[in-house]
């Protein structure tokens, strides 16, 4: 099994920055794609970004403000969040699978517990 633990969430003012992390543990061999998702109250979970063998992808809604990174395959996956807006508020989940097919579809095998990000006006 693979465990994912997110951390780094909190409350920030609009325009501020925050970096959240996802630490993977357990048997992670072959787990090659890691993604970040956001779910706001009353809204569907949506993809934010993903990284595959060091190659990042950020969805259009967050492109230019959010950056996903990972130093190596055994390092935490980070999501750098800049120029935060109130609408960025939500629970941010880290998820992972062998490839990005399921991550892109929102159905990866492994999920973290989430970390709350709140952006005030």
pLDDT at 73: 83
pLDDT at 74: 86
Please give the share of the chain, as a percent, with pLDDT higher than 70.
Answer: 100
Tell me: pLDDT of 71 over 90: yes
Q: In 3-state terms, what secondary structure has residue 75?
A: coil
Confidence of residue 14 (pLDDT cuts 50, 70, 90): very high
Tell me: pLDDT of 12 over 90: yes
Are 22 and 85 a contacting pair, CB within 8 Å? no
As to burial, measured by CB atoms within 10 angstroms (0-12 exposed, 13-18 middle, 19+ buried), residue 51 is buried
């Amino acid at each position: 099994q693979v465990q994912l633990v997110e951390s780094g969430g909190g409350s920030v003012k609009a325009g501020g920055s925050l970096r959240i992390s996802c630490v993977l543990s357990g048997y992670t061999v072959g787990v090659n794609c890691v993604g970040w998702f956001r779910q706001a109250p009353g809204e569907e979970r949506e993809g934010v970004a993903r990284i595959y063998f060091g190659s990042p992808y950020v969805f259009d809604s967050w492109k230019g403000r959010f950056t996903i990174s990972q130093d190596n395959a055994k390092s935490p996956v980070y999501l750098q969040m800049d120029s935060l807006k109130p609408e960025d508020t939500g629970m941010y989940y880290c998820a992972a699978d062998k490839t990005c097919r399921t991550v892109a579809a929102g159905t990866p095998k492994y999920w973290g517990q989430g970390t709350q990000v709140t952006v005030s006006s």
